[in-house]
Amino acid sequence: MFLLLPLFISAAFSLTLLAPLAGLVFLSAILPAFLIRFQLYGIPTSILELATYSVALAIVARIALDAELRRAVKEKMIFVWRERCGVVISVGLFFAAALIATLFSVDFERSLGVLKGWYLDPLIFGVLFFLVSRGGGDIIKVIAGFSVGAAVLSGLGIVEYFSTFDAYSTIGTRADSIFESPNYLAMLLAPIIAMVIAVLAFVRDVWRQVIILSLLLASLALNLVAFYLTFSYGGFVGLTLAVIWLFGAFAFGKMRNRKTIILIGAALAVILLLVAASSFGSAKFQRDFFDREGLSSFRGRAELWQTAVFIIKKQPLAGLGLGNYDKGYLRYAHEAIGGEPLEPLMIHAHNIFLDFWTDSGIIGLLAFLLLAGYFFKLYWSVRLYSPGLANGAAAAMIATLGHGLLDTPYFKNDLSYIFWFIIFIPITLAYLKHESRTKFTE
């Protein structure tokens, strides 16, 4: 592998130097490469991380060599500083909170790695996308990259589910693909599916682009099947909320038309019926929600949340440091629940809000809420300029937050890349809206 690594990184650099957006689409398609980990000169890293840095260097080089791109980047930076300084403030506070949590961490080395993999690297990806994107079509291409990359994992998960071969499964009768848990696959798929549905339903131009359309349709089909086979109730909640958002946004929005409303309504009805049919009468549902003293998901979540609240009471300001929930769980779980916990070790609180608080304290939680709030403020300002893409981003964020009530759809390398891409969609649309007005007045 180490012999091929320089060739792989060089190829990513060369591709990006020729076409900057292509490098970002490439990154969006290889998110699972974060699982290929190793040490480079004693520093833990991964294929995804090195590819990200290679793409970043290539884009910096391209900006230095390309006067037109350099001018465009300068205009975007001026726009953000003058017109959307809230971006700088909210992103800056979010990253500052993570940095403070790292400095005061109970395990500095681990938190430093988390800071790099879950905060810095995905932020670089989001910023680079904003700087090189030139229109809504570029947003769709990156969404397609995410969807196709996820579809490869979905295909593997589907094959494993319907066969006796499942090299990675620790669960059994649920699709998990290459991950340790089906929930990881569901957390990856939910926001991607939400964005693709929005693009296909409401961006008319995409239906005239045969290659992009084919990739979106094929990948969506695979991703929907695999998502269903994860039987992730948190995922079902998140995606259902996302589809409800899309239905409401377009039923009462500018792009209101009968066919679209019927399409989204039918999709929502199918999702709800599938969830109801497969869940409410199943042994898994009965175990997870009604066997509160046995091996149930309800009991496990309740213990995780109780322990998280206990940790917060002990460490309210700075938390335990990034990626250290497991240390708090080992130390406090028995005392928090007043007995032996169902799970001997857990690495997350399985609630995105509790996880931010336990990881980075009240400052981190407030910074996350501020960032999410500013995202929706930006969404509101561009919802009429590009309804399909704006509401696709909002639906993806709704899926993330909804799923986050029961799980942790940020605290993983691949999930954080998707999160920051979602954050930068309305920022990009805000600039495109500003640019179109500027050209019109000229």
Is there a single domain that holds both residue 172 and residue 131? yes
Same domain? For 180 and 261 the reply is yes
pLDDT along the chain (442 residues), means of 10: 78 94 96 90 91 97 95 95 92 96 94 96 98 95 98 94 61 79 95 95 90 96 93 90 86 64 69 66 56 64 92 91 94 89 87 96 96 96 93 97 94 97 97 81 51
pTM of the model: 0.92
Among 422, 381, 348, 10, residue whose Cα is nearest residue 190? 422
Does residue 74 form part of some domain?
A: no
What is the DSSP track for 170-198?
SSSSS--TTSSSHHHHHHHHHHHHHHHHH
> 382: Cβ–Cβ under 8 A, 6 or more apart, which residues?
390, 426, 429, 430, 433
Are 376 and 233 found together in one domain? yes
Q: What tokens does 315 get?
A: 């460490």
Q: What are the tokens at 313?
A: 């009471």
Report d(CA 227, CA 239) in Å as an integer.
Answer: 10
| One domain, residues 164 and 272 | yes
My answer on whether 46 and 181 are in the same domain is no
Residues 41 and 124 in one domain: no
Residue 381 burial by Cβ neighbours in a 10 Å radius (0-12, 13-18, 19+): middle
Is 16 domain-assigned? yes
Domain end call among 31, 65, 99: 65
Within a domain: residue 316? no
State whether 23 and 144 are in the same domain: no
Q: Which residues contact 34 (CB under 8 A, 6 or more apart)?
A: 46, 47, 48, 49, 117, 412, 413, 414
Residues 54 and 172 in one domain: no
Asked whether residue 337 is assigned to any structural domain, the reply reads no
Residue 292 falls within a domain, yes or no?
no
Same domain for 53 and 95? no
C-alpha distances in Å from residue 229, one per residue of 66, 224, 275, 410: 47, 9, 11, 21
317 found inside a domain: no
Contact 125, 420 (CB under 8 A): yes
Claim to verify: residue 61 and residue 89 sit in the same structural domain: no
Q: State the total domains in the chain.
A: 2
Residue 143 is assigned to a structural domain of this protein? yes
Regarding whether 34 and 125 lie in a shared domain, the answer is no
Report if residue 70 sits inside a domain.
Answer: no
pLDDT at residue 171 in the model: 45
Per-residue pLDDT at 289: 56
Q: What is the model's pLDDT at position 167?
A: 47
Range of the domain at 382: 85-287+347-441
Are 18 and 101 in the same domain? no
